[in-house]
Chains A and B, each alone.
Chain A
Amino acid sequence: MDQHRPSLNRTPVRGYWREKGSLILWMLPLLFLTLFYFYPLGKISLLAFTHPPQSTATPIWEAIRSDYFLRIIGFTFGQAILSTFLTLLSGLPVAYLFARYQFPGKTFLRSLTGIPFVLPTLVVAAAFNALFGPRGWINLFLMAAFGLNNPVFTLTNSLTAILIAHVFYNLTIVIRLVGDYWSRLDTRLPQVGRMLGATNWQTFWRITFPLLRPALLTAALLVMIFDFTSFGVILVLGGPRFATLEVEIYYQATGLLNMPMAMALSLIQLSCTLAMTILYSRLSARVSQPINLKSASQNQRQLIHHREKIMAGLIIFSLIAFQVLPLVGLALRSVTHAGLERGQTTTSTPYLSLTYYRELFINPRESLFYIPPSKAVFVSLSYAIITVMMSLLLGLPTAWLLAKPGQNQSLLKKIQRFVEPLLMLPLGTSAVTMGLGLLVAFDRPPLDLRASPILVPLAHTLVAFPFVVRSLLPAWRSIRPQLHRAAAILGANPLQIILRIDLPLIGRAVIVAGVFAFSISLGEFGATALLARPEFPTIPIAIYRYLSQPGELNYGEALALSVILMLVTASGMIAIERLRVGEIGEF
């Protein structure tokens, strides 16, 4: 990338100040990570390893080398690789459709595909069960159609269930990251290819795919880390025969209270995240190159030909069947009452009613810990908005600094190379470790945050921040340095360049980053459960509170609240999408 070095850097004085300015700007994300991530992590490690419980017999190192843990590590990698591959494969056609065509309901459909990302696993399991379960619609239909007495297939507690759920959850990452990038690629390139006689497949493989690689790699890394640290899906849908490192960490920490072991496994998990990120950086440095990004609206058109319409119809149909139908099933279940699934002798016909929703608003036993739904929505939204603000505030300068071209041996480059992989670590950290770490780190003045409600959005920001940086980087790196040079020659200062050139060019990516930060905060459960104050419960916390008690009403109210979570998520996403931070196509 050396040949693209901005010529202004050659002026020694200005170059010096630029470098200095960048160094100061680096302090922001570095201080944040040091204080709220590395310090807590260090403190909890220290505490765990210096105060081992008396009961542990085998030394940690011995235990970790046992077949049991090696199998867990192997499985964690295996399922993550498989899930990531499937997610990319399923996401690509949808990303293509969203990138290249305009059709009615597109924004709405795209928001719908983002909802699974925030849903609690137990709720997704319930949705899957209503569809694919032993008494789910599909099995009931097949049993009726072929006159069978037993369910045709069982899905839960299998690797298939894990894979399907991972694709279900993370498809939106591929759709958004790859789709957004794809929509900005100049359509004339593949057109030229075809004019020169290449087949469709050749144009894709030789032109589009190489250009897409930066976004594909980023999506793959993020999906891979999510699958690698998967917890709820493995626990609920995979069942007891499957365990990832994350599940094992939770068991060691809360089931056996064996913190040394939990920490050792956390550190292994972190090293794996680090290794994956370094590998990613190597690969992406090779494939990233500045290109001419175009406005999405210039690249998109209506569906005209029959073939296009059929293709679009097929993709939309499968997307709806896979991602939207379970959600609809869930919504239906939350308003359907009695009969069928109770297996009673006096089967009354099912009827529709809003009882579960009405019940949400009353506190029949005057419980001190009753959560009015409006309050849960308010708290969740507040945390989500704070998370979006904080992670963008940190993520924008960080992505800018990382995308900045510089001399190979310069201090800046060195910082870039060193910091980039470290930024991903919070995403690969087990929720239990992070939650407990924050608690032991800020336990005395001036920073006694243990009982403070700020801890929750802080933990959410730690997870969202790497995501934001990753979503911004491919777009920012693709901006041609010539543009910056031209602006600088015309007398623009760096801030003006950012505001007038960079932000309009990467506006979509900022929106995508914001949407992800928003959904990460709305859906986070693991760390929230450890850190949330009972006065400030989030929607997922309230859902679990209902689910953990027996009784039809509790179950129904949990479903009703999940539907509310879905609505809040969808409307939040649509609202963020409307902000449109200066997109190129608008002038």
Chain B
Amino acid sequence: MINLLSTNLIKRVQSLIALLILVSMVFACSPQASSPPPTESNILTVMTHDSFAATESVIKKFEDQTGAIVKFIKAGDTGSALNKAILAKGNPLADVFYGVDNTFLSRAIQEDIFQPYDSPLLKEIPEKFQLDPQKRLLPVDYGDVCLNYDKNYFSQHSLQPPKSLDDLTKADYKSMLVVENPALSSPGLAFLLTTIGVYGADHYLDYWKELVSNDVKVVNDWESAYYTEFSAHGGTRPIVVSYNSSPPAEVVFAETPISEPPTAAITANRTCFRQIEFVGVLQGAKNIHLAQKWIDFMLGVDFQSDMPLQMFVFPVNPNAPLPEQFQKFVVIPQETAQVDAKSIGENRDKWIQEWTSTVLH
């Protein structure tokens, strides 16, 4: 019996080993292994956050123009990616970092991980986007965090959507708003900054107290707010903090073609906050020349006009045309709430703490 057992066992162990070898071979033959190793000098490594996207042919165009091979490293959300870059200071993983936004700008500059580059294309880009006078971080795109509302809900209840932040504290809009936690979500932080921009650092908490008594709902992440709480996607709250590019995204990503988005953004004066995203050459980059060419490329019309439908952001270069869906369904706010990058850098921690103890407890 022992013999029988052991041959049985040995057979099983053998088949197990055979399976393991097979699997490791399959893995070893995966696409990466088959391409020839490129030489050091023509590889450009771009580090960015998870939301980065681009059309394949657009990137190919850059590779054809320069003979370079572009490798992307994605490192979680904006904060994680930036943290990764800061920790790798002096021995960077990449040549270029894209995705620092104006809420992280002063911190990124303080950490001294970028080197200046005066791109010739900056001439085409409006002054208002160029927040770093030393040109270590160059603007690429912007997006406005605005209140979105469920059009059906408001027409069914014959109600006008709110026109200002003040409106949100009125009884008409009780229990209608869902916002994200500024500590953990970037649109959540943007909305907190909107209220600071409008009511000032001294009075914004009073406004939030009124929002709380008007039953504002706070969730941790944009996904929960938009897909669980927002009434346009099955929740009970008809107003949500999202982007002014969300309505066109609803059209682009509709399951059956629709001519009108089911949602709309409120773009009245001083109800939105503008997020600007920047790119920069990392200190200690192996391939500075290519990195600078890449930055020129990102600021150029080809890449700039590709961004809206890939990342749902707006080009900073006014020469880049907007796609049809954006022209039709997006209203760019005339006047956004203003908080400068420096004071965000200095007070971010304090504001979030104050907000947490006022709103959540």
Interface set of A (CB-CB < 8 Å, partner B): 44, 47, 53-55, 122, 125-126, 129, 133-135, 151, 156-157, 235-236, 239-241, 247, 250-251, 253-259, 337-338, 341-345, 355-356, 365-369, 378, 382, 385-386, 389, 432, 436, 439-440, 443-444, 450-451, 453, 499-500, 503-504, 529-530, 532-536, 544-545, 547-556, 579-582, 586-587
Contacts and interface: CB of A to CB of B under 8 A. Distances in A.
Contacts of A240: 181, 183-184, 218-220, 360
A133 B228 contact: yes
6 contacts: A54-B110, A257-B82, A345-B155, A440-B87, A450-B93, A535-B31
A552 B253 contact: yes
A440 B88 CA distance: 6
Given A500-B2, A529-B80, A551-B253, A444 B26 contact: no
Interface in B118-157: 150, 152-153, 155-156
B184 A255 contact: yes
B76 interface: yes
A235 B59 contact: no
A587 B4 contact: yes
A559 B108 CA distance: 36
A581 B13 CA distance: 8
Contact of B224 (A135, A236, A253, A534): A236
Given A341-B234, A500-B2, A500-B5, A251 B183 contact: yes
Nearest to A250: B184
A170 B20 CA distance: 29
B83 A259 contact: yes
A487 B346 CA distance: 71
B57 A366 contact: yes
Among A157, A368, A451, A536, residue most surrounded by chain B Cβ atoms (within 10 Å): A368
A276 to B, nearest CB: 27
B296 interface: no
A553 B249 CA distance: 10
Contact of A549 (B80, B153, B224, B253): B253
Contacts of B111: 53
Given A251-B184, A255-B184, A550-B250, A368 B93 contact: no
Contact of A535 (B32, B226, B242, B254): B32
Interface string B297-329: 000000000000110100000000000000000
A587 B3 CA distance: 10
A343 B238 CA distance: 11
Contact of B53 (A369, A450, A587): A369
B302 to A, nearest CB: 14
Contacts of A550: 226, 242-243, 246, 249-250, 253, 312
Interface in B77-109: 77, 79-80, 82-84, 86-88, 91, 93, 104, 107
A587 B32 CA distance: 45
A582 B5 contact: yes
Contacts of A548: 50-51, 222-223
Contacts of B1: 587
B57 A343 contact: no
A552 B230 CA distance: 12
B255 interface: yes
Contact of A552 (B183, B250, B310): B250
Given A134-B236, A254-B77, A365-B309, A355 B255 contact: yes
B235 A134 contact: yes
Which interface class (under 10, 10 to 19, 20 to 34, 35 or more) fits B? Answer: 35 or more
B30 interface: yes
B184 A587 contact: no
B221 interface: yes
Contacts of B77: 254
A194 B27 CA distance: 56
Among B83, B153, B183, B242, residue most surrounded by chain A Cβ atoms (within 10 Å): B83
B288 interface: no
Contacts of A451: 45, 71, 73, 93
A135 B209 CA distance: 28
Given A386-B24, A550-B249, 7 more contacts: A126-B227, A240-B181, A254-B76, A369-B53, A436-B84, A547-B227, A556-B255
Nearest to B10: A499
A554 to B, nearest CB: 5
Contacts of B84: 436, 439, 530
A367 B228 contact: no
CB-based closest 3 A-B pairs = A551-B253, A254-B79, A341-B234
A382 B30 contact: yes
B224 A255 contact: no
Contacts of A129: 228, 234
Given A256-B349, A368-B54, A534-B72, A341 B8 contact: no
Contact of A254 (B12, B54, B83, B156): B83
B220 A555 contact: no
B79 A255 contact: yes
A55 B8 CA distance: 65
Nearest to B48: A534
B73 A122 contact: no
A582 B156 CA distance: 66
Contact of A344 (B152, B183, B345): B152
Contacts of B9: 499-500, 503-504, 581-582
A342 B278 CA distance: 37
B75 interface: yes
Contact of B220 (A239, A365, A369, A582): A239
B334 interface: no
B222 A367 contact: no
B73 to A, nearest CB: 6
A46 to B, nearest CB: 11
Contacts of B234: 129, 133, 135, 341-343
A122 B235 contact: no
B228 A125 contact: yes
Among A235, A451, A549, residue most surrounded by chain B Cβ atoms (within 10 Å): A549
Given A549-B312, A552-B253, A55 B221 contact: no
Contacts of A386: 23-24, 27
B162 interface: no
Contact of A500 (B6, B220, B253): B6
A341 B30 CA distance: 42
